[in-house]
Structure 1
Amino acid sequence: MRKISILLGLWLVLLPEWIVRLFYAGRLPVVDGRRIDPKSHAVSQLVQRIRGDSGMPSVEESRAQLATLAARFDRPCPADIAKTDITLPGADGPRIARIYVAKGSDAFGAQPTLLYLHGGGWVQGDIQTHNGLCGQLARDAGIRVISYDYRLAPEHKFPAAVNDVLACYRALTLGTGPAALNASQLVVGGDSAGANLTAALMHDLATSGDPMPAAQLLIYPAVDAALDTASMRDLRDQPLLPRQRIDWFMDHYIPNGQDRFDPRISPLRSDRLPGQPPALIIAGGHDALWCDGHDYADALKSAGVPVTLLEYPGQIHAFLSLRRVIPQGVDAERRISDWLRTALKG
């Protein structure tokens, strides 16, 4: 029966949006006035059926699950985008990175660039799970994208990933890496844990006095380890990112005895927000991190930082990585690309 239920769920996910909307007519969950998008609800139910009641997976199983989800439900990298795998410095040796540019373009010269940090709870994800999104951003924004493979927990706990990102940023902006640029040509961004690492990088740059990038892109960011927001409570059982899984990620990432309110873990608590570059923040209303995005937008604005907040009240966590089946993911990607072109113009 479970296999049949999963197959039915997969069939529903792949149907056109208008049919799914009719199927769920009058039966879509509402949280604090925000009704879930019908395709996102179908994906949520499918994930719930696949995971079942078996408890938390092993680290290896979790990584495989994300890779499978991305392969099946994200759009592929556009065919007219060239990919080049390179290495860039990390804090403890070289790390893999991937450059995306239009075919026939120079992959290594100075040019507008997005340094992208993938999501995955600091435990899973890599440049391949975000291959389609990075390629699409490169194409639609008309820029170079560099996707960076920082170290993952639990093999490498905090602050390994944060230190890797800082080492990579310095290599790019100081010209010691293979891709040339200066800070004014660079936007740093990522989704979920990658957005957390982006915000932590801004704290580090403000602390060290390194040049800031042109802008920062924060897609459903995790910015406060207190985990006590209204959306964290209201959406604790949302299948894509339930509270149990958030706790599991953080326990793998943060060493025993580490202060979880360190601003390199909880950037919302940073005292270095003034002077940071303009930010674009994406928030989904059926994501436990909905309030994190809003709280961070408010904090940056209070510090005098220009902020654009794009709200998707019906969306779930990771919807930008599910663009094959969630149309609003396509819309969000295009709006991000428009913002990137403006942020990097001139």
Structure 2
Amino acid sequence: MTTEKPSPLRCQAFIEAFSHGMAELEGLSIAETRRQCEALYARLAAPVAAGVTLRDDSLRSDDGHVIPLRRFTPMLDTPRKDGRVVYLHGGSCQIGSLDSHQGVAASLAAWLNREVISVDYRLLPEASYQQALMDCDVAVRELAPIAVVGDSAGGRLVMDVARLHHETHSPYVLGLIYPPMDPVLSLDNEDLATLGPTAPLLSREEIVAMWQLVAEGDPSHSYAMTPPHSRQAPAQVIEVLSVEHDPLTAPLEAAVATWKAQGAEVGYHCATGMVHAALHAHHELPEMGIAWRDFCDALTRRLGEA
């Protein structure tokens, strides 16, 4: 777990480059914001891992929507044939795509030596959170993965998909990378177990704005399943990756402690000195790369035991 006194930031150049790119998005339409973000990720994110091939595919959601997929298959060694992995990308439910997060998905495939399938679920505000969750649920049901991994908003979707399958006890391992926990719709509550301190690249206000957008477009409250994830483990076997400087880390660590007390098998890894979004640059940031490797190695062991 993180210490009471945070260690210094160790990714200042990445923060400056990412912040500069995000500052250029101010005042743009959502469509233009997405295009600019794709260009930003193309400049800063990890390339596709060597020896991993890409193939596009698709599924159809329950309401007829076509869900684009991308299959990442490791080729340097004989890939494991005893189960694939589904990956759900981040982006505050509003940005992110198969392209923007393909460096993470490809790296995951290389580390696990398994096929990883990335899901291009529908985004807000054009779609509702319920529709995004439907797309992810369909992908998990149809692809029958041995593990489901997601980062940031994708991590939240992983937990909510698992909650939908609670009667079958989520027969897959979860990989959660700095996910938002319980909905926070205002900053009236200063309890740091609800949200930790603001950090570079992600503020408390931005998290609240995301939840408000989700709530406005989802009268079904599919994002606010009961009991909250902070009070009940979304699965029996979970590996968690966080970064030290992130307002999402404090509530995540509190949840991990609760899940362990309930008897869930939970591994926890924290990248010292790193910030939200640093996973994209795991190839250049040593502390992020080490934590990412440890997370992937732990997932590999879990899947070997499954």
Which residue of 1 is the match for residue 170 of structure 2? Answer: 212
Tell me, in whole angstroms, the C-alpha distance in 1 between the residues paired with 2:66 and 2:21: 36
Pairing partner for 2:207 from 246, 250, 254? 246
3-state SS of paired residue (2:126): coil
Tell me if 1:344 matches 2:303.
Answer: yes
Residues 198 and 216 in structure 1, CA contact (< 8 A), matched pair in contact too: yes
Residue pair 1:205, 1:212 contacting (<8 A) in 2 also: yes
Distance 1:53 1:89 in 2: 35
Alignment partner, residue 235 of structure 1? 197
The residue aligned with 1:62 is 33
Is structure 2 residue 268 aligned with structure 1 residue 306?
no
Amino acid at match of 2:6: R
Q: Which residue of 2 is the match for residue 73 of structure 1?
A: 44
For 1:61 and 1:223, how far apart are their aligned partners in 2?
Answer: 29
What TM-score does the superposition give when structure 1 sets the normalisation length?
Answer: 0.76
Runs of 5+ consecutive residues of structure 1 not aligned to the other structure: 1-30, 174-182
Q: Which has the larger radius of gyration?
A: 1
2:160 counterpart of 1:188: no
Displacement of 1:250 after TM fit?
2.6
Quick one: which of 20, 28, 34 aligns to 2:6? 34
Letter in 1 for 2:5: G
State the alpha-carbon separation in 1 of the partners of residues 204 and 32 from structure 2: 18
Match of 2:138 in 1: 167
Correspondence for 1:222 among 160, 168, 180: 180
| Compared CA separation, residues 337 and 51, structure 1 to 2 (3 A) | closer
Instruction: Tell me which of 119, 124, 130 is aligned to 2:101.
Output: 130
CA deviation map 1:34-56 (0-9, x unaligned): 123322x3322344445559856
1:214 is displaced (CA, Å) by: 2.8
Secondary structure of the structure 2 residue equivalent to 1:332: helix
C-alpha RMSD of the superposition = 3.1
1:281 CA drift (Å): 0.9
Residue-pair matches, total:
299
For residues 236-315 of structure 1, the aligned pairs below 5 Å read 236=198, 238-255=199-216, 258=219, 263-264=224-225, 267-268=228-229, 273=233, 276-315=235-274
The one of 328, 334, 337 aligned to 2:287: 328
Q: Shift of the alpha carbon at 1:105?
A: 8.3
Contact 2:239/2:299 (8 A) holds in 1: no
CA distance in structure 2 between the aligned counterparts of 1:125 and 1:50, rounded to whole angstroms: 15
2:128 aligned counterpart, secondary structure: coil
- What secondary structure does 1:135 align onto? helix
8 Å contact 1:116–1:189 — kept in the other structure? yes
Partner of 1:230: helix, strand, or coil?
coil
Letter in 1 for 2:163: H
Once the two structures are superposed, residues 288-343 of structure 1 have per-residue CA deviations (whole angstroms, 9 ceiling, x without a partner) of 11113212212322322111111224110011112243222222221122122212
CA distance in 2 between counterparts of 1:148 and 1:172 reads 11
Deviation at 1:190, TM superposition (A): 0.5
Match of 1:140 in 2: 111
Distance verdict in 2 for CA 1:152–1:106, change over 3 Å = farther
CA distance in 2, matches of 1:53, 1:59: 13
Higher deviation after alignment, 97-106 or 227-236: 227-236
Structure 2 unmatched runs, 5+? none
Which AA in structure 2 matches 1:230? L
- The answer to whether structure 1 residue 158 and structure 2 residue 124 are counterparts is no
Q: Secondary structure at the match of 1:34?
A: coil
Q: Percent identity?
A: 25
Matched, 1:99 2:74: no
Please give the secondary structure, in 1, of the residue aligned with 2:110. helix
Cα drift, residue 254 of structure 1: 2.4
**Contact 1:225–1:265 (CA under 8 A) maintained in structure 2:** no
